[in-house]
A and B are shown apart, each in its own frame.
Chain A
């Protein structure tokens, strides 16, 4: 997974990273947390896989139906792991929040999204829906929008966060560092 940092959809590195994430999810789901050794590598691999799977949804490499199922599976395993590893609690909460947003159909417009796209390109135009509880953009549900709009959308999930997508994976990582979560998460249901 780590061997792909800059490559976008369609490249060998990108496909390798996504296939790795799928395999990690498969192993952790199959073996369960109890079937794996008590090493910090396990929660880390699972957290990183979650970011990769979500990224595939964002890049429209993965359709929303499959992504929804996988992210739900990620949430379940992260939940399980977070009982023993505080380092994944942040990722688990964030992933759950994303799952809820996807699960309630708010992202269904992604079904008709543009194929391809670049992970790090600033010119990416997406067709994500804007959450209804974001007053500033409530009227823009389903419209195409730039990364600027996407940032506003993610700001709903993570206030005060510079949420250009390229930084989301860092968000996942950084978020996992502390046991006591920063205040922006206090309102998130676990």
Chain B
């Protein structure tokens, strides 16, 4: 991989040119610096890759744009995992311990709750690959924070009730009490920067936002979602990152965030959407015949589109007190392209979102 071309005045290379964005002067300057090097292998490769397809004149990649995708990949790989550990004062560490930030859940709890997540939410809200987390967890390699965030969400399922313990021989907790304690620990852990993997951090925040109970729970949930989306923007997962080995995981994560932003907005009693579709560069997920996740995602995305239309009358800038939605797509139109009739019954219940918008 090419080293960055910018140098400081003492001749040392700048390790990272900041977030890759045309808004960022540092990033623009880095791109110009690279453009100034004719015949670089990176430019040749990119040009070759794009020349095989006819491209509309307005969209022809400039050398700067061609580099941008490469620099984005470099940014992603450099910043996905933080290599330094946060320095914690003794008193801060003590606080984190008391909040349960470092705690791992007992195996009896995780072994019961992780499969519940896989069976209920893993395909419906594909924030993370639940099966992979379960496998990694069995080898002691999964993020303890991600595992706890998953348990936070599924602890409301009735079958989880006999397993809601925070320690091996500790008391059995009520779901809301269990969730409240998990959330406090996770919140402290995230604020302290204990999770080094930023993609996993996004997943944790997205899961945390699904717990909206308690005092001001809705505002808190909205705040977690906004943090998750900001981290996603920072890691550029809303943009194409050619060559990214995490491509599939990132795509599902991004579109899950967009679904939460659209479908969850009324739940959070807030009108503004965080995400403007015009800012999204990554392709939408197309329903594939043998890919159940993609089929559910396609339905969710269509519902998210509909939410934008259906809630126009609630916008603060709306000037007329008139509903505009005369024509609505039918459920069969929204679910066309997927084997909706064969969806798991609990997943078809997701059409509650659809019904919240319309009826036919």
Which partner residue on chain B sits nearest A35 by CB separation?
B346
CB within 8 Å for A5 and B216 given contacts A16-B358, A37-B121, A40-B210:
no
Residue A44 at the chain B interface, CB threshold 8 Å: yes
A86 touches B214 (CB 8 A): yes
Smallest distance from the beta carbon of A27 to chain B beta carbons, Å? 6
> Which residues does chain A contribute within 8 Å of B322, judged by CB atoms?
6
Residue A20 at the chain B interface, CB threshold 8 Å: yes
> Which residues does chain A contribute within 8 Å of B356, judged by CB atoms?
1-2, 20, 24, 41, 44-45, 48
A13 touches B154 (CB 8 A): no
> Which residues does chain A contribute within 8 Å of B266, judged by CB atoms?
2, 44, 48
B314 touches A5 (CB 8 A): yes
Residue A85 at the chain B interface, CB threshold 8 Å: yes
| Interface stretch of the complex, out of A55-63, A64-72, A103-111, A175-183 | A175-183
| A165-B120 Cα distance, complex, nearest whole Å | 39
> Which residues does chain B contribute within 8 Å of A5, judged by CB atoms?
313-314, 323
B349 touches A36 (CB 8 A): yes
> Which residues does chain A contribute within 8 Å of B125, judged by CB atoms?
37, 39
B323 touches A27 (CB 8 A): no
A44 touches B323 (CB 8 A): no
| A37-B121 Cα distance, complex, nearest whole Å | 7
Residue from A34, A45, A180 with most neighbouring chain B CB atoms (10 Å): A45
Residue B234 at the chain A interface, CB threshold 8 Å: no
B120 touches A38 (CB 8 A): yes
Residue A137 at the chain B interface, CB threshold 8 Å: no
Residue B360 at the chain A interface, CB threshold 8 Å: yes
B326 touches A38 (CB 8 A): no
Residues 89-139 of B at the A interface (beta carbon under 8 Å): 120-121, 124-125
| A16-B351 Cα distance, complex, nearest whole Å | 15
User: Using a Cβ–Cβ cut-off of 8 Å, how many residues does chain B contribute to the interface with A?
Assistant: 52
Residue A186 at the chain B interface, CB threshold 8 Å: no
CB within 8 Å for A31 and B267 given contacts A13-B326, A16-B359:
no
> Which residues does chain A contribute within 8 Å of B325, judged by CB atoms?
3-4, 13
CB within 8 Å for A177 and B349 given contacts A2-B314, A3-B358:
no
CB 8 Å contact bits of B308-319 with A (1 = contact, 0 = none):
011101100000
Q: Which of B212, B352, B359 contacts A17 (CB 8 A)?
A: B359
Q: Which of A1, A11, A13 contacts B355 (CB 8 A)?
A: A1
Residue B186 at the chain A interface, CB threshold 8 Å: no
B215 touches A19 (CB 8 A): no
Extra contacts besides A16-B328, A37-B120, A40-B210 (20): CB < 8 Å: A2-B307, A2-B356, A3-B313, A3-B357, A5-B314, A12-B326, A24-B356, A27-B355, A28-B352, A35-B349, A36-B349, A37-B349, A37-B350, A39-B125, A40-B212, A41-B350, A87-B213, A120-B321, A174-B269, A178-B216
Q: A-side interface residues toward B, CB under 8 Å?
A: 1-7, 11-13, 16-17, 19-20, 23-24, 27-28, 31, 33-42, 44-45, 48, 84-87, 120, 173-174, 177-180
Q: B-side interface residues toward A, CB under 8 Å?
A: 120-121, 124-125, 153-154, 156-158, 175-176, 210, 212-219, 221, 263-264, 266-267, 269, 307, 309-311, 313-314, 321-323, 325-326, 328, 345-347, 349-353, 355-360
In the complex, the 7 A-B pairs of residues with the closest C-beta atoms, listed nearest first: A19-B359, A20-B359, A3-B310, A3-B325, A38-B156, A5-B313, A45-B352
